[in-house]
Amino acid sequence: MAEPSILSVKGIETFYGAIQALHGVDLEVARGEIVTLIGANGAGKSTLLMTICGNPRARSGTIVLDGEDITALPTHQIVRRGVAQVPEGRRIFPRMSVFENLQMGAILADPANFKSDIDRVFAMFPRLAERRDQRGGTLSGGEQQMLAIGRALMSRPRLLLLDEPSLGLAPLIVRQIFESIGRIAREEGVTIFLVEQNAFHALRLADRAYVLANGRVRLSGSGKELLANQEVRAAYLEGGHA
């Protein structure tokens, strides 16, 4: 962690109505890192990502992006500061074409970059280029995931938040998606905060990792350390990996 933090989360508590989902989460993501957050279903992983984006709003704690407190900002203001999210369930616009979905990703970007950005996305995911004019809702799960990642990249984010990109995908596609994520970090220099249930792939890819359980950070360390950790192995890695 020689680099300064691009994202710093301190004491975040988030509620859904009366139910508390996050109980004071602290974590740091340094510039250029791949950081992963693993945890079981219902641990609060997606809630944390959405809280970073301002929906739902944190009830207490602070979220600092590149030195600026963004805790109280509305979602569209937060993402304007260089955060992009590939959300849970991908959330492709079903009645828009692949191309239009990518155009939506670029609404905050400089229009002058549009052509080169979309060419980069098509080079990374040639399948999307083939399906350019097809409606988003008719794509396969893997293609939708590629589109969701491509759409997020169109805004040229500094920080990319990914929520379970491997969910529901065939093993071969999962490997492909994780390879792309690694390339985005290395080649594009995008900082990545990755939430995963697929702990094996995520920990192998990540520089550092956190384990979230019941709305609290249980463990943290380098990807390798957690991959070797007995508790992590027992809870998240036993029974093989996809």
Partner 1 sequence: MAYFTQQLINAITLGAIYGLIAIGYTMVYGIIGMINFAHGEVFMIGAFISLIGFIICGSLGISSAPIAIVLVLLLAMSFSAVYGWAIERTAYRPLRGSFRLAPLISAIGVSIALQNYVQLAQGARPKPGGQIVSGGFNLFTADGFDVRVTWLQIIIVLVTIVLMAGFTWVIARTSLGRQQRACEQDMKMAALLGVNVDRTISLTFVLGAALAAVAGMLFLMYYGVIDFFIGFLAGIKAFTAAVLGGIGSLPGAMLGGLLIGLIEVFWAGYFSSEYKDVAAFAILVLVLIFRPSGLLGKPEIEKV
**Residues within the interface to partner 1 (CB under 8 A):** 53, 55, 74-76, 79-80, 84-85, 87, 89, 91, 93-96, 100, 103-105, 107-108, 137-138, 151, 155
Cβ distance to partner 1 smaller for residue 17 or 240: 17
Cβ distance to partner 1 smaller for residue 76 or 132: 76
Q: Are 162 and 87 in contact (CB under 8 A)?
A: no
To partner 1, the closest distance from the beta carbon of 5 in angstroms equals 22
To partner 1, the closest distance from the beta carbon of 116 in angstroms equals 18
CA–CA distance, 29 with 22 (Å, rounded to integer): 18
To partner 1, the closest distance from the beta carbon of 104 in angstroms equals 5
To partner 1, the closest distance from the beta carbon of 92 in angstroms equals 8
To partner 1, the closest distance from the beta carbon of 217 in angstroms equals 24
Residue identified by tokens 């060419």 is 119
Instruction: Dig out the tokens for 130 from the structure.
Output: 């083939």
CA–CA distance, 139 with 20 (Å, rounded to integer): 36
Q: Are 90 and 105 in contact (CB under 8 A)?
A: no
Question: Which residue from 190, 180, 214, 211 is spatially nearest to 36, judged by alpha carbons?
Answer: 211
Cβ distance to partner 1 smaller for residue 15 or 93: 93
Q: Are 94 and 57 in contact (CB under 8 A)?
A: no
Cβ distance to partner 1 smaller for residue 100 or 188: 100
Q: Indicate the SS3 state at residue 198.
A: coil
Cβ distance to partner 1 smaller for residue 117 or 205: 117
Strands 159-163 and 191-196: parallel
Cβ distance to partner 1 smaller for residue 24 or 87: 87
To partner 1, the closest distance from the beta carbon of 3 in angstroms equals 26
Q: Residue 232: how many CA atoms within 13 Å on its side-chain side? A: 26
**Nearest 5°: CA angle at 162, between 123 and 92?**
70
Cβ distance to partner 1 smaller for residue 151 or 208: 151
Show the DSSP H helices in 125-170 as ranges: 126-130, 141-153
Question: Which residue from 44, 84, 53, 61 is spatially nearest to 195, judged by alpha carbons?
Answer: 44
To partner 1, the closest distance from the beta carbon of 188 in angstroms equals 18
